[in-house]
Homo-oligomer: A and B are copies of this chain.
């Protein structure tokens, strides 16, 4: 548990900013942030999200509540890493897809990989607890979903460009929306890869009907 929100990047993708802090000030700031996130994760896993108050976390990290909110936009944000290059990865999955692959196929692969990457860690019981907590706490479930769908517009633009359609093409917007929405289906059902297959089968066939060769 050395990293800030070590688990969380497996939930949403791999989007951790690695910019090393240079001066002493920034290092201290980063450290405070880290302490808060660590304390929060530990307390949350211990007692459950709703059983921990921000006060408890601030106390455990030995800072004031006000300071906590200077570092994190809200209680839920304590659980998740920033998703800085999540959008870039999404866009790149479409633009730089291996030739011969359709856009929906590329998205299926990318999203499935992203959302099931954590299966590798299924052996770690702490991690299982973490994912269960996220899925079972409405506030966290919603927050994760918002983070994930935040880049819909960018994805829609990337798709439009890749398909040679106008930037605001409705079909591309629809594909982007639906593709991101598969996350819910994939996470809910027991066999993620099969769920992804079924969901994207719909999208692939529908897409192929109007966009012959992309």
Q: Which residues of A are in contact with B by a Cβ distance under 8 Å? A: 142, 170-171, 173-175, 177-178, 181-182, 184-185, 189, 194-195, 198-199, 201-210
Contacts and interface: CB of A to CB of B under 8 A. Distances in A.
A21 to B, nearest CB: 32
Name which of A170, A184, A199, A204 has the most chain B CB atoms within 10 A of its CB: A170
A1 B181 CA distance: 37
Contact of A201 (B181, B199, B201, B206): B206
Given A205-B206, A206-B203, A198 B174 contact: yes
A201 B209 contact: yes
B185 A202 contact: no
Contact of A202 (B171, B195, B199): B171
Nearest to A204: B206
Contacts of A202: 171, 174-175, 178, 202-203, 206-207, 210
